[in-house]
Structure 1
């Protein structure tokens, strides 16, 4: 370990089945073989015996991680602004993270994966291993960990919390209630990775920007506008739309600056992706650029035609699947949503309304789960370019279900019945009652699941030992407590997405409600700001205390959610104009009077602002653009020299 580097901490754990009967370990024991191989790989290993399982905790010195990064050929930014393949012997040339560490959490996780799965049988013959009188064959060139996973001997591999960093984040972030929106974003990035840090940076900026419309909405609610409302509400609508457009343009600038500061802006499209679903899949190495005679020769024309055919086939499959989802929404979900909205409108008793709402919420939960599962199945038949593209496709499809579920009732009350009182009541119900209940469930369910798992493990241990049920059995090890905690998973499944799907979905639905119906209830921005202030600390506590440490993910932005937010801005222009028309045209004659003509003019102007503002405010700061262009130019020069040198050497060998 290099001088000045902190001591290695345990960052990964392997869960192994606990032996039912004590057995004298021997050289053929698979668990002993795994531990020995991990030690030979240079990892620091500690075995912990739990109530129902055995745990192997892993840590890696910096030198071991550095050599693994070199084998993976990770691209890292150097001090001269050029990305190069990492070389452990030249580690001083590479830029460190904001917290002083050489590798980010995502890079360390990839190195751990490489170290674990590179343990293969290189003896040239099959090795026979045993576990509890069960025999398994370790074939040539087969990964030992994959073999033990397939045999059920290893149950899981999961990241561990770093207690020192976790407690610091608890103190400075989750429990720092006085600073409403301030967050240590660099520390969050160092501990959780780029994707989660980007989410909290977006949530913090979004909450701070909400203070402006919240203050204006509160003033409009406290002051009796009277006849002035016909002038003030259109101005408020213009302000909200401009606010939303400005916010997302400045968020793009902040996102670019953050990624440049973290050293991920340049390498995001080049570095290997961190796995989403867990650590039970082997990472694919990043292959270097090596030229052979086939590279110098002309590429076959048939290969280009195959690529073009696959591209168009994948596009047609995506269009077909999207059409299936849209038809399902129109013919299945839309009638159900309109039927509920109609019954809610004609019901006179509050008890009947609450009963209808309860039945609706129960039914819609099952419908959404079915729609999510169908979307996952459809995506598997799409030829997406990697997991990130598949995740974006899933987000679009599932959000369509939630969009119809969340807004069709509001559209019905606002446009069909023009009942603004009922619309305000539903907005309050959705933003206060629904979001409060969601936060309570979001933070209480993990604790209940953890308590239930701990109770089952203790109960099983008591039955095995024949001990009295009154005698309590406590978990003595921290690693077992973390293992029993729930994972940060999405409600639609964690195959393509993790828990960030639900967090971004909640923000998107809230943003749609407050912008699309701003003219009907300006005070709604205050409720949204208060909810988001609470959400920052609640999500921090959830990640640091109630859940396992999530598997890191590398991502350059908030992904498909940015397009969804942009779509909601366009929808807000249309819905608010319709609300103003209903306000001006109380008799329903739909005459083009000066007031209605002004509303149509406002709509066109705001659409022009929405699509034209991006040309005046660049999406990235000037210093980021200059550094990026410099990096690309220098990398192109280096690659050109390497390619020319390789081509010359190949030609020279041919002439010999």
Structure 2
């Protein structure tokens, strides 16, 4: 063995250079599953990887100097190091880090780790569903239930007061968390601000830094000193055969930390709640499918005597021609599947469902906060980011402590950074809107082309509107994916520039930017179809033009709802497929390529080198997983009235998503640094905002996109108008009533069709019909909106106001009567606080007795 650190170091906080301990490079002992140093006693809590270069350039010398200074700083902060060369590549060196007990005790106070003081003596009530859930629970013979304790923040001076066998409560994840805390604050230069493993990784000084998995995912370790938590997680959670089992959340939290645990808990809870919405949505779909043939309006469209005798006006200029209404018979039947009275029921149900989902999640989250000791994890306890601390060159008075504290920028500097970030985000939002406008122009142009070129045999199955909608949706999906990829880098750059203080602040800032952008990116095309397309089109004699050139596109005679459904299906389905390719195939292919390019060797590969060959999860961890699910949540709730099958598709996707995420994080990625988290962070208010907006969007979809309100108005007030049977409420004559009349002779030269179909007789067929409520030719106010139009508009606005107020009132009542924290959890928290205060008083009493003082009264 030989020393690999021979240079001297000078630092204000460092000891004398002669007293700096030097660590040794040792040979691998051929124990492939070892989690310890060569002495088989000191546990490896973190691994650093670097690569020696062949040519010792100036850059190499600088990296070597920074690496040596950094490792000396780690040892001065208490870590013990041991280096081993790679068995597959002699250039690669692994530096193993061990955290001794005195260092664990010291930093456990700093990072606010809570440890047991007493067994939980409060009996929790057994759930009524225990008999049912046991059928789907992981095997208790393999994954033992966690023992419940009352806990308190660890204090080194009172370590004897904590529960016996204290060492077993410093789990490997806790040890790795403390080691990571030290690594992010060790200096690598004398200069102030030059510290942290993150910067060294960015500069290439180190190739990787990660905690170790405890074993191979598919092979159980026979050594009793080594846990097999990864193997248990794979067998009972990530393996495809375990798809029906509930998640072992306590073991996930223990192995990966609270931040990963809370994500999988939220995803599982969201998926369970989706099951109820999926059942109701499927029922509405079946109802619509069963009644599509019996629908009066679809019958009238398909009837040769009614729909076959109605001549419709051309939907584009010059090249388009007249057509019969019954040519849309099939699309009219398809529309009835989604546009029926069950849609209204489903929209109201989803508004109540989303409220129950958020309220019950708060309760479940409160239970997890208590069980996982994160209920008191507050922002003021979180340590500043190393990147923030490195820029602290100004000073200010803390308004709370009245002490002078360093800050990275003045008030003016902070405003400048935030303003720059806001302007950049707005620029990209405008860019997305511009791309949507481009797709709209494409729709206008291609509809004209499909109207001319679409072959006659296909028109029975694919209308020009449908062909336009499908191709435009695919193009929108491609643009969305491209813009997402670019904006990811831009959003991270902006957030880095803003320099948030803590990691929570950083993630909240990034979350807001990413969601705002993706909200516009994913939903803008859907909002266009739902609320703008076909709304401002004029009438055949005076159509509205985009940019003075393209005639604004109209909806199908049955409405735009079927196009909105098509858009949602393509974007939701395409997004799910693309995300699975990115999340599963890409890491698997990268690992496969890495294994193929590595030189074959008969040597035994150590645990740390096996993990090095896996993929890193990334700096943002599960951020993109949350983002994916929240965008899906928006599709499910914002457009529920147009697509009742969305919850079912989301449910199926999420059942795969849980296992896919479990599989990849267990088998394809290095072990993540365990992090503490109290809740799902800023995603919670975003979900609440989406839930509030969903009520308005669904009410507007029913009012303006579907044909439900005109049908209701006709059903209850049709006797005032022609085409009805007086005295009996019926939908007979509805189609005829919703189509206005246009005189062919009133066509302008720009709009008049160049040729007529063979069945069209200009002398006999002097009028055509279009979808609107306008006065007919010959009326004193011809082609102006009729009184019926204003009745329908009034009914739509009244419906929106009534539905939103009723639903918001129901949401308020539900939010009020459902407490955020269960009574049992409140009781346990009070019991724990009492025991903590009692424990602190008794320990203080013993201390004062020991020094001969009388204790102060409590």
Give the TM bin, normalised by the shorter chain.
Answer: 0.7 to 0.9
Alpha-carbon distance in structure 2 between the residues aligned to 1:392 and 1:413: 31
Q: Which residue is equivalent to 1:603?
A: 804
Shift of 1:598: 3.9
Q: How far is 1:409 from its partner?
A: 1.1
Measure the CA separation in 2 of the matches of 1:178 and 1:422.
Answer: 39
Relative distance call for 1:33 and 1:214 in structure 2 (3 A) is closer
Cα distance in 1 between the residues matched to 2:648 and 2:191: 63
Which residue pairs with 1:159 in the alignment?
A: 211
1:146-179 Cα offsets, whole Å, 9 max, x none, are 9997996643321221112111100010115455
Distance 2:346 2:193 in 1: 67
Give 1:221 shift: 1.6
* Whole-angstrom CA distance in 2 between matches of 1:389 and 1:268: 12
The answer as to 2:483 corresponding to 1:367 is yes
Answer yes or no: is 1:563 the counterpart of 2:685: yes
Per-residue deviation, residues 432-456 of structure 1 (Å, max 9, x unmatched): 2330232133101112222334455
Given that residues 516 and 571 in structure 1 are in contact (C-alpha distance below 8 angstroms), is that contact kept between their aligned partners in structure 2?
A: yes
Q: Which secondary structure state, in structure 1, belongs to the residue aligned with residue 680 of structure 2?
A: coil
- 1:294-333 to 2 correspondence within 5 Å? 320=419, 323-325=422-424, 327-329=426-428, 331-333=430-432
Bigger Rg, structure 1 or 2:
2
Q: Displacement, 1:234? A: 1.9
Instruction: Report whether the alignment pairs 1:544 with 2:613.
Output: no
> Corresponding residue for 1:487?
616
Paired position in structure 2 for 1:624 = 825
Corresponding position of 1:462: none
SS of corresponding position for 2:170: coil
Superposed, 1:192-203 pairs within 5 Å as 192-203=256-267
CA offsets, 1:218-258, max 9 Å, x none?
A: 12222224669754322211111111111111111111111
Residue 816 (structure 2) aligns with = 615
2:352 to 218, 233, 242: 242
- Give 1:584 deviation, angstroms: 2.4
User: 1:198-226 CA distances to partner (integer Å, 9 max, x unpaired)?
Assistant: 01000101111111111111122222246
**Aligned equivalents of 2:406 and 2:200: distance in 1?**
38
CA 1:376–1:440 in structure 2 vs 1: closer, same or farther (change >3 Å)? closer
Paired residue for 2:366, among 256, 260, 264? 256
Q: d(CA) in 1 for partners of 2:178 and 2:112?
A: 9
Distance 1:140 1:331 in 2: 41
User: What is the aligned partner in structure 1 of residue 84 from structure 2?
Assistant: 47
Which residue number in structure 2 is paired with residue 508 of structure 1? 630
In the alignment, structure 1 residue 337 sits paired with structure 2 residue 478: no
1:579 equivalent among 691, 701, 707: 701
**Residue matched to 1:395:** 511
Change (3 A) 1:621 1:139: same
Select between 137-146 and 569-578 the one with higher mean Cα deviation.
Answer: 137-146
Which of 439, 444, 455 is matched with 2:580 structurally? Answer: 439
Name the TM-score, length of structure 1 as normaliser.
0.74
Looking at structure 1, the residues matched to 362 and 650 of structure 2 have their Cα atoms a distance apart, in angstroms, of 22
Q: 2:162 aligns with which of 77, 84, 93?
A: 93
Output aligned runs, 1:96-495, within 5 Å: 101-103=168-170, 107-113=174-180, 154-163=206-215, 164-175=228-239, 177-180=241-244, 182-223=246-287, 224-225=290-291, 231-269=341-379, 271-272=381-382, 320=419, 323-325=422-424, 327-329=426-428, 331-344=430-443, 346-347=446-447, 348=450, 360-382=476-498, 384-417=500-533, 418-458=559-599, 476-489=605-618, 494=619
C-alpha contact (below 8 Å) 1:173/1:540 kept by paired residues: yes
Contact 2:385 2:502 in 1 (8 A): no
Task: Give the TM-score taking structure 2 as reference length.
Answer: 0.58
Could you report, residue by residue, the CA deviation over 1:70-123 in whole angstroms, capped at 9, with x for unpaired residues? 5747442552657344328725615999xx941355532232246668988xxx
Summarize the Cα distance change of 1:48–1:88 in structure 2 as closer, same or farther, 3 Å threshold. Answer: farther
Q: Distance in 2 between matches of 1:39 and 1:600?
A: 67
Report if aligned partners of 1:333, 1:404 keep a CA contact under 8 Å in 2. yes
Q: Tell me the SS of whatever aligns to 1:414.
A: helix
For residues 95 and 74 of structure 2, the distance between their equivalents in structure 1, rounded to whole angstroms, comes to 14
Alignment of 1:26-65 (within 5 A): 43=80, 45=82, 47-52=84-89, 53-56=91-94, 58=96, 60=98, 63=101
The one-character-per-residue Cα deviations of 1:575-631 (angstroms, maximum 9, x if unpaired) are 110111133245563535667634421111222333453332222222333454566
Structure 1: how far apart are the matches of 2:178 and 2:164? 18
Q: CA distance change for structure 1 residues 173 and 9 in 2, over 3 Å: closer, same or farther?
A: farther
Gaps of 5+ in 2: 1-39, 56-64, 119-149, 216-227, 296-335, 391-396, 455-465, 534-558, 711-737, 739-771, 773-788, 849-858
Match of 1:466 in 2: none
Deviation of 1:552 (Å): 2.1
Please state how far the C-alpha of 1:420 moved relative to its aligned partner: 1.6
Distance change in 2, residues 1:165/1:7 (3 Å): farther
Aligned-partner Cα distance in 2 for 1:264–1:116: 23
Match of 1:291 in 2: none
State the alpha-carbon separation in 2 of the partners of residues 114 and 510 from structure 1: 35
Whether the aligned pair in 1 keeps the contact of 2:212 and 2:607 (CA below 8 Å) is no
C-alpha deviation, 1:430, in angstroms? 2.0
Aligned residues: 580
Aligned position for 1:14: 48
- 3-state secondary structure, aligned to 2:209: strand
Distance 1:512 1:305, change over 3 A: same
Maintained 8 Å contact 2:151/2:832: yes
User: How far did 1:502 drift?
Assistant: 1.1
1:465 aligned residue = none
